[in-house]
């Protein structure tokens, strides 16, 4: 029997790559998205788009009743917007997730939801493991951590089976460089393509654990299969376990593009910026058998070729 899967936020950057993968695996895919940061063009042929809001509890319950599992990626993803509209961000990112959890628990189906490396806050100098003390420094990170706590409580009280995935810095095709939440890789690639200088906040020696979106899609599916089989509420980092500084990243992009060196303009550090972000991939490997397979070089090449 064909597996039927709901992807909230499926018109977004990560959700649309996940939808591609599920369809390729022969699943029937229903996408719930209000197109606030997602785009209709991202929805793959073969998926059904329901244009609606995660806060519409009746709609969510109706859609959940009709599927076998849920991937919950819908969120207010722009950290600055969550700061400007603190209550709205909280309502969507935590309240919307609770509504979704409740509907999935009532139907008895597993949920995989997007958490974030943002739950770790500023842990400069050390690798983030799932048992590291979470110390979010933004309302976005605080609400993502709240989702993890709610998943645990919902498992205790209503037997919800879930997995929360703490995404590190995700990059790949379809991440719009013009969007305020676009990551540094999409911006640097757009700069290289347009032959305009990079703006680097600070000295450029800050580092990130960059993970390719195709690997993220694979990790999401592995986590769903594990949540379905073993129950409870688990959380995993989705990361590579290696870091790259921005200056090295800029060099790598120049090398992939093969058109000379992009100029760099240094400006003052961005307020609240984290110096180093590095995840431990061990738990996801041990329990999900997940390992990022795409090297930064190969991921950058796919992204560059998609432009």
Contacting positions for ligand UD1 (CB under 6 A): 79, 116-118, 140, 169-170, 181, 183-184, 187, 199-201, 206, 208, 246, 270, 273-274, 277
Min dist CB 116 to ligand UD1, Å, is 6
C-alpha span between 236 and 248 (Å, rounded): 27
C-alpha dihedral (139, 142, 143, 149), degrees to nearest 10: -170
* Of 50 and 274, CB closest to ligand UD1: 274
Quote the CA–CA distance of 130 and 302 in Å, as a whole number. Answer: 30
Output the DSSP codes for 85-128. Answer: THHHHHIIIIIHHHHHHHHHHHHT--EEEEEEGGGG---TTS-B
DSSP string, 269-287: PPTT--SB--B--HHHHHH
Smaller CB distance to ligand UD1: residue 25 or 203? 203
Distance of CA 232 to the CA centre of its chain: 21
Active-site residue (options: 113, 120, 140, 171): 140
Of the pair 21, 244, the CB lying nearest ligand UD1 is at 244
User: Which CB, 52 or 146, lies closer to ligand UD1?
Assistant: 146
Give the nearest distance from C-beta 79 to ligand UD1 in angstroms: 5
Q: Strand, helix or coil at 28?
A: strand
Least CB distance from residue 140 to ligand UD1, whole Å?
6
Nearest approach in angstroms of CB 157 to ligand UD1 is: 29
Structure tokens at 300: 């950058």
- Annotation says 140 is catalytic: yes
Residue 181 or 285: which CB sits closer to ligand UD1?
Answer: 181
- 261 C-beta neighbours (distance < 10 Å), count: 10
Sign of the CA dihedral running 134, 135, 139, 142: positive
Beta-strand relationship, 244-245 and 69-72:
unpaired
The residue whose Cβ lies closest to ligand UD1 is: 183
Q: Smallest distance from the beta carbon of 185 to ligand UD1, in angstroms?
A: 7
123: CB partners within 8 A, 6+ apart: 132, 135, 274
Active site residues per annotation: 140
């Amino acid at each position: 029997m064909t597996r039927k899967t709901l992807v909230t936020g499926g018109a977004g950057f990560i959700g649309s790559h996940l939808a591609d993968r599920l369809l390729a695996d022969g699943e029937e895919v229903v996408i719930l998205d209000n197109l606030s940061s997602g785009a209709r063009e991202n929805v793959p042929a073969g998926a059904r788009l329901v244009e609606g809001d995660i806060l519409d509890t009746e709609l969510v319950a109706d859609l959940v009743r009709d599927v076998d599992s849920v991937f919950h990626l819908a969120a207010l993803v722009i950290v600055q917007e969550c700061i400007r509209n603190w209550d709205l961000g909280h309502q969507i990112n935590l309240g919307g997730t609770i509504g979704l959890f409740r509907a999935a628990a009532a139907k008895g189906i597993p949920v995989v939801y997007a958490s974030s490396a943002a739950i770790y806050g500023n842990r400069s100098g050390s690798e983030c493991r799932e048992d590291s003390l979470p110390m979010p420094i933004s309302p976005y990170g605080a609400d993502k951590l709240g989702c993890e706590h709610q998943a645990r409580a919902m498992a205790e009280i209503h037997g919800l089976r879930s997995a929360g995935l703490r995404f590190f810095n995700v990059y790949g095709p379809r991440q719009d460089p013009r969007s305020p939440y676009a990551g540094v890789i999409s911006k640097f690639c757009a700069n290289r393509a347009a032959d305009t200088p990079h703006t680097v906040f600070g000295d450029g020696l800050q580092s990130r654990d960059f993970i390719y979106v195709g690997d993220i899609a694979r990790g999401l599916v592995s986590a769903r299969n594990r949540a379905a089989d073993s129950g409870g509420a688990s959380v995993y980092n989705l990361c590579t376990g290696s870091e790259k500084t921005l200056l090295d990243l800029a060099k790598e992009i120049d090398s992939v593009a093969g058109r000379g060196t992009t100029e760099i303009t240094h400006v003052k550090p961005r307020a609240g910026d984290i110096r180093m972000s590095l995840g431990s991939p061990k738990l996801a490997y041990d329990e999900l058998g997940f390992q990022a397979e795409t090297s930064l070089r190969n991921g950058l090449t796919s992204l560059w070729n998609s432009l």
